Structures are given as structure tokens and as C-alpha cells.
Amino acid sequence: MNIGGIGDARFKEETRRLHDNTCLYVFSDGLDEFPRKNGDIWRLRHFASFLQNHHTRHEHDIDRLITAVEDQRRGDAIDDDVTIMRISFQ
């Protein structure tokens, strides 16, 4: 399902095996494409790195992520749609 993107975009379908104690993050482009305070663009690689370096199984992970995104942004507030969901597999 395409969330917050171009309606006719095409995607490659893949199947992945998830291990126990894995978290899957589903998110819209508002969290991985925005201008940073230092002038470059926060991209998917920055987002993935943040998740890898700051992931815990704590319920406030998403709040910390949103705070980090707000701190990195150039401007006062997030002006794009922001959708994120964490699915934890036990």
C-alpha cells in the first residue's frame, strides 16, 4: 500500500522473513525527505540509521523519533504528512 505518495507509483514486490523480537516500521515520506538545518536533505539512509542506532523496545520510540526529526528540520514544524506505525513481532 502506498501511503502519502504518488498514486500511480510502481514498486517492486519482495518477501522477507522476520525473526522473533523484530520491529517493522511503516512510514510516510514526511519522515524521510526534508531539508535539514545544515542544508542537506534527511533521506531514507538517515532515517534507517537513526532507527538502528536508537531502537529500543520501549513504547516511546516513536515519540523520540518525531522529536529527532523536529530537531533536524530546517524550520519550526513538520509541514508534510507524518504517518508512522511500529509493529512488534514477539
Q: Where are the domains of the chain?
A: 23-89
Cell numbers representing residue 71 in the block: 530537531
Quote the pLDDT of residue 2. 56
* Residue of 40, 36, 62 lying closest to 51 (CA atoms): 62
Quote the pLDDT of residue 70. 79
Torsion region of 12: left, alpha or beta (phi above 0 gives left; psi -120 to 50 gives alpha): beta
Looking up cell 531539508 gives 35
pLDDT in tens, the chain (90 residues): 555 566 677 878 899 888 888 888 888 777 777 788 888 888 888 888 888 887 666 666 788 887 877 787 766 566 667 788 888 888
Condensed to tens digits (0 to 9), the pLDDT of residues 26-43 reads 887 777 777 888 888 888
Which pTM was predicted?
Answer: 0.67
Q: C-alpha distances in angstroms, 37 versus 3, 6, 41?
A: 26, 27, 9
